[in-house]
Copies of this chain bind each other. A is one copy, B any other.
Amino acid sequence: MMTEPTDDFVRAVEATLFAAEQPMTVEQISNHLGQADVRPALAELERHYRARGVLLVERGKRWHFETAPDLAHLLRREKEDLRRLSRAATEVLAIVAYHEPVSRAEIEAIRGVQTAKGTLDVLMEAGWVRVAGRREVPGRPVIYATTPDFLAHFGLGSLKELPGLEELRAAGLLDPVDDDMIQTGLRPGKVPGEDEETAEDTAEDLDERDLFEEDDG
């Protein structure tokens, strides 16, 4: 493919817009290039770039180059980081699974601590929890439930396959883990608030902290 020689003035407009740090109005380009009429050059450039990976576009009377919208996905590369759910998020997920549908206030009542909004967001981002409507009580709180992805991820046919309280007790999962933890949960004079989550995190064992770190790769 042989390109026709391009008019030097068109080339100058092209270079000016390429190097510009801001979109430019016709007047600005013209001022830059000795007051010449730049409209025909802009029209020609616009036509030329229409077929290319970069477009010359006018937005609000200002011209600039931008990458073609159909290629936008190429300019973003996704990288997946494996991240372990925090203890708080795991607890909230478990409560949703055992009690669904539940409102945030109910989750908080069961957990005994306030739940940061971010925790539910993480679970929804993970695709395990969804908004399942509103409860028809005063205030109409949003209620949450698990998703089919949740069942798939944990290898469950249905929520009924989650072990019941008796089974948990038999497995030793309802034994006090250690006194400190119980005391943390019952610490008197604790003021509930959004920063609760942080306070709790601090009291959590170090292992979890390690797990929090992103394992890249």
Contacts and interface: CB of A to CB of B under 8 A. Distances in A.
Interface string A66-80: 011001001101000
A206 interface: no
A178 to B, nearest CB: 47
A4 interface: yes
A18 B54 contact: yes
Interface stretch (A7-15, A98-106, A142-150): A7-15
A16 B77 CA distance: 11
A50 B77 CA distance: 29
A121 B47 CA distance: 48
Given A32-B74, A32-B77, A77-B32, A54 B3 contact: no
Contact of A33 (B6, B16, B47, B74): B74
Nearest to A45: B53
Contact of A52 (B1, B6, B19): B6
Contacts of A11: 52-53, 68, 71
A13 B53 contact: yes
Work out how many copies of this chain go into the complex.
Answer: 2
A16 B54 CA distance: 9
A4 B50 CA distance: 11
Give the interface residue-count category, chain A.
Answer: 20 to 34
B51 A18 contact: no
Interface string A39-57: 0000010011011111000
Given A10-B53, A53-B13, A77-B32, A48 B1 contact: yes
Nearest to A44: B1
Contacts of A188: none
Contacts of A6: 51-53
A46 B93 CA distance: 42
Contacts of A4: 1, 51
A105 B51 CA distance: 56
Given A18-B67, A33-B74, A67-B18, A12 B51 contact: no
